[in-house]
Structures are given as structure tokens and as C-alpha cells.
Amino acid sequence: MPPIPPVTELIERLAAQMRPAITPGSVLVGIHTGGVWVAEALHAALGLTTPLATIDVSFHRDDHHLGGGLRSGGRVSHLPENVEGAHLILVDDVLYTGRTVRAALNELFDYGRPGRVDLAVLVDRGGRELPIAATWCAYVLPEPLPASESLDLLREADGELRFRLGKK
């Protein structure tokens, strides 16, 4: 597999793709944890004035029996008080099976009915299990990663973001 471009470059690509669709009322919603880091960088790059929102999908995961979900670590969702009719943009680092996005949509709709929900991701690693696709994606892996491998976004001590490829 060729190396993944640097995260800063991917964020620039993603911001450029998103910019034409951003309106003054658009709200970025970062999915904990990597998606929040990406959303923070996009929020700055796009010059948004609406507050950044975050979402914890732990209680909407469908993989509790596999050890997923219910690991919020004290995180809570911080969404606009009123999402009715709003343009929300879910932001995540890696799109894989689509189950995290499904959980995020369930959490969002607990707060109301947005007018539109888009999805922005840095990397699509392939391997979808649900019919979910990103509206904007900075990089698609040339070949899907095997299920035995993981692609994780890490935040270094100096705040720098980088991807790590590893075994699950």
C-alpha cells in the first residue's frame, strides 16, 4: 500500500472540497475521538463562526457484544440546542464499515430532525457493511484494508496528527 499523505495535506484537501457547500449556519459535528480532532482543524481552515459540535456514539453502537461501544470514557455529546432544520456535517477520521456513522445518525436524531446531514472523512479504507458513503473524502485507499488491520489517527504530544497502520 502506498503511504497515506500527511494529515495536514488531507485536511487542506477536505476543506477545499467542502468550502463551496458551507453556509453561515453549517455546523461541524466531530465524532469522538479522531473526528473531533479533524473537525477542530476543519473548523479553523473553513473559518466557521458557528460553534463546533461533538458527538459520542458509544450508547448507539451495535457491537456491544464484541467489546465495542459503552466506552465513552466520560465523553458526552455537545450539539446545538436546536438541530431542527440545521445543516450538520458529521466529521470522522476513517470511514470503514459505516457502523460508527449509523450510530452518530441515531444520536443526532435523538436531538431533533436536521434539515441535512453530510459526512466528511479524511480516509475511506473500504470494507463497508452498511450503505453509507461520505459526501466529501480527502483520500481513498487504493485497496481496502483487511479486517485484521487497523488505521488509527493519533495525536502526538505536540498536537500533530498522524495515521498509524497496525494489526487489530
pLDDT given for residue 2 in this prediction: 77
Q: Report residue 14 as a C-alpha cell.
A: 477536505
For the stretch 127-146, what's the b/e string if a residue is b when 16 or more beta carbons lie within 10 angstroms of its beta carbon? ebeeeeebebbbbebeeebe
| Tens-digit pLDDT profile for residues 102-150 | 999 999 999 999 999 999 999 999 999 999 999 999 999 999 999 999 9
Point out the residues of the chain with pLDDT beneath 50. Answer: 64-70, 72
What range defines the domain where residue 39 resides? 7-167
pLDDT given for residue 35 in this prediction: 97
pLDDT given for residue 149 in this prediction: 95
Indicate which CATH number applies to the domain containing 21: 3.40.50.2020
Query: Cα torsion at 105, 108, 109, 111 (round to 10°)?
Result: 170
For residue 2, being part of any structural domain is answered with no
| Count of structural domains within the chain | 1
